[in-house]
Structure formats: C-alpha cells, structure tokens
A and B are shown apart, each in its own frame.
Chain A
C-alpha cells in the first residue's frame, strides 16, 4: 500500500484506480459537511421562522469548499461520487432541511453540466469557475406562475441578437433565485419552436435581472426562498447548452434529482428518529428496570427507517452501475425505478415523522422542546408535492401498456 501511495504521489496513473476523489478525501468531505450541519442546525429555527435563506450554512459550505465537489478533476473540482454527495445532503438535512434541499438542488444543476458539457469550452470553463469561486447554481424550469409544473414544456423562447441571445421568462419559480450566483434556465429553442423543443442556458448573475412577483410563504421548507420572478437576461450564445433539454431532463436530472431529494428526505426522517430515540433513552433513565412504552413503537420505526435507507442506497447503486451505459440510462426500467424511488421516499419521510409523534408525545408536539417534531413534519409534507407524486405515477402509468418489470434481485 505504501508503495502504491508513493507511485500515486509520483504521478503514476494506476489502471485499477477508480476515477474521482479518493475514499479518504470523500470521508473528509462528509466530515466537513457535519461541521456545516451543526451551524445549519443552530440557525434552522430562525430560518424557518423568518422564511429566510440559510446564509450562515452556505457561507460555511463555501468555506469548506463543498459546492464544487461534483465537478470533474480536469475542470478543477474534486469529482466526488454521487454517494458522497447524497450522504452530504442527508447530513445537512438533519440540521436544517432547507439547507439540505438547497444543496441538493445546486448539485442537481451541477450534474447537468458535468454529464452533458464536459467537451464544451464555455461550460468547461464555467465548471472550473464553480469549483474555484464556489458558485451557487439555481434552476428556472417552471413558467407562468406554476409551482412544480411541467418542466418539459416552455412558453418563452431564445431570441438571437448577433452573437448574443436574450431571454425573458415570466412567473418562474426560482428557489434561492435572489441568492444564486448563476441560473440554469429552460426555454424553447426559438420563439417559434414547439413547447417541448427546449434548451437550457446558463446565465451568471450579472447577466440577468430578477423581479420578484410572489414571495415564498409556505408551511415548510421555508428557507428555500422559492419566490416567483420575472427573469430578463442577455448573454453570449455559447452559454446555451448544446444538447437538447429533453436529454438533460431524462439522463442527468431524472436520476440526480430523485436520488438527492430522497437523500434530503432521508435526513429529515433520520432526524425525527434520532429525536424519538433521545426521548425514549431519557424516559428509560427516569424509570430504570422498565422498558418505556414508546420503545416498542421506536423499534418499529427503526425498521421503517432501515427500509428507507435501503431504498436510497439501492438507487444510488443502480445509478452508479448505469451511469456509463446509455442504453440502461434510457431504458424504461431505469425510468420506472427512479420514479418509484421519488414516490416511495417522499411518502416514507412523512410516514416516519408522523410515527415519531406517539413516541415523543406532547414533547414532540411542542415547538419549544428538544424532542419537537413540528418543523420536521412541516418540511416532510413538501415531499409528495415537490413534482407531485400523481404526476410521476402518471408518467409510469403511461408506460404500462408495454412495460414488464424485471423480477431479479441482482439487477
């Protein structure tokens, strides 16, 4: 091993060495995320109360250099695995669900650049900027005041003006739009193109103006600041991603979004279980010699959490095996699997937090106790409607006239 390390230091590329960051480096990233999660947790109540951006956590994420870790090494990033990024999403969400979700949304945008733009000069250089300057990426895919609308359909179109283009988009919901350093925005290829003939463009914050048309005032996930904006931008045409948005949506957004959202929701569920555990432990200490009544329900809850964890881990594993295989990535089976992960994970988080209530009792119901489940419950309820589960099940339903599932346990 020492010899291998010396060879590696000397710059030898070992054929067996997997690409990307080393296992030690990725462990260190997760350790850094735990430090950030502590900061996020300290401010979580205030972020929720004021419905404001978790800027302390994001200053810490930039300081710990965790925003560029998906970027390939050739573009100056750390090239962390999706499993590591998933773990970081879960860790952050345990401290503050809004922080975890913003981090997940940022990485989902990064994945579109990483997967589809590695050979493109402008976007390659932009990835290097993300890594170097720790830029925060946001997404503008909905339009006309919609929330969780149909991202595969646009009203606005790219207008070419010489080497530049302009783009005006009304009523788009942009999570942390006001805080982002760049926005990845969808539109029709031209104003005359059909609504589904879309492209995605990258505009940096000095290239657009945002006018807020509605503020984000919701039950939970209040820190994501998903305000509605009117977007007006102008940029050089080379900033339009060359591949059609249809490919981006199917190949990078679908798996990355569903797996990273599921990771955030797992983090919320894990935090609810941790609070129930702490409550049961303190009850056990009050009455030594007898098992607290909530312990049985907690045992049941641990089994449920394990099932949730297995869902996410198996999904990550499937994606890692499929990511270099275009046939598998574009297969119906893969689409059905990713859709199913979103639906089940989003239901699981609500169920698990709900099941923690009878364990924690009034202490869980209170807003001011260490066992409080109130914010977790409100945050969890966003999951089934963040791209509505009925829409996702409807997409799967459309395939069932021909689809047959694979009953193997090993694929």
Chain B
C-alpha cells in the first residue's frame, strides 16, 4: 500500500522534493506539503482506495507521513468490512 501511496503523493501532493527520497515516517509538511496539496492528495487517495475520509479524520496528523496515511486508510477500510 505504501508504494501506491508514494506514487499518489508524487502525482497529487505537489511536493518540491523527490518523493522517493522520503522515508515512511518523514514529515510531509516539512517536505513542503501545503494545505492545497493536502486536499489534492486526499482526493486522489479517496479515489484510488475507494474510501471517504470522514470529517473526524481530516486533521494534520493523519496526513503527516506516508505511514500515517496508510494507517488512516486501513482504519476506514476496517470499519467498512
């Protein structure tokens, strides 16, 4: 899943750095993720993983790292089984 997230981040996140250089726990905001980039990223993630992020999950922490994004998506998926 992390590979897919990294690919989505590369196309939708509009980061000024090369996504392949970022570790799973690297802070994406420090890497230049903007609030506009976060919205684009969320939109692409919702489409790719066929999930909808609820209001309560749309906070900074859930999108701060690749690992956090994976955790958030898994949480939604497990709630919808």
Contacts and interface: CB of A to CB of B under 8 A. Distances in A.
Contacts of B62: 327
A332 B59 contact: yes
Contacts of A405: 55
B59 A402 contact: no
Contacts of B59: 327-328, 330-332
A34 to B, nearest CB: 40
A391 to B, nearest CB: 14
B35 to A, nearest CB: 7
Interface in A256-307: none
B42 interface: yes
Nearest to B41: A402
Given A326-B61, A330-B61, A402 B43 contact: yes
B58 interface: yes
Contacts of B61: 326-327, 330
Interface in A160-205: 196
B60 interface: yes
Nearest to A251: B60
Interface string A326-360: 11101111000000000000000000000000000
B55 A406 contact: yes
Interface in A390-411: 398-399, 401-406
A302 B54 CA distance: 37
A279 B54 CA distance: 50
A330 B46 CA distance: 20
A326 B52 contact: no
Contact of B36 (A333, A398, A403, A404): A398
A398 B39 contact: yes
B58 A402 contact: yes
Nearest to B57: A331
Contacts of A401: 39-40, 42-43
A405 B56 CA distance: 10
A354 B29 CA distance: 44
Contact of A402 (B29, B34, B46): B46
18 contacts: A246-B29, A327-B59, A327-B61, A330-B59, A330-B61, A331-B58, A331-B59, A332-B58, A333-B55, A333-B56, A333-B58, A401-B40, A402-B46, A402-B58, A403-B58, A404-B55, A405-B55, A406-B56
Interface of A: 196, 246, 326-328, 330-333, 398-399, 401-406
| The 5 A-B residue pairs with the shortest CB-CB distance in the complex, in nearest-first order | A330-B60, A331-B59, A332-B58, A402-B42, A327-B59
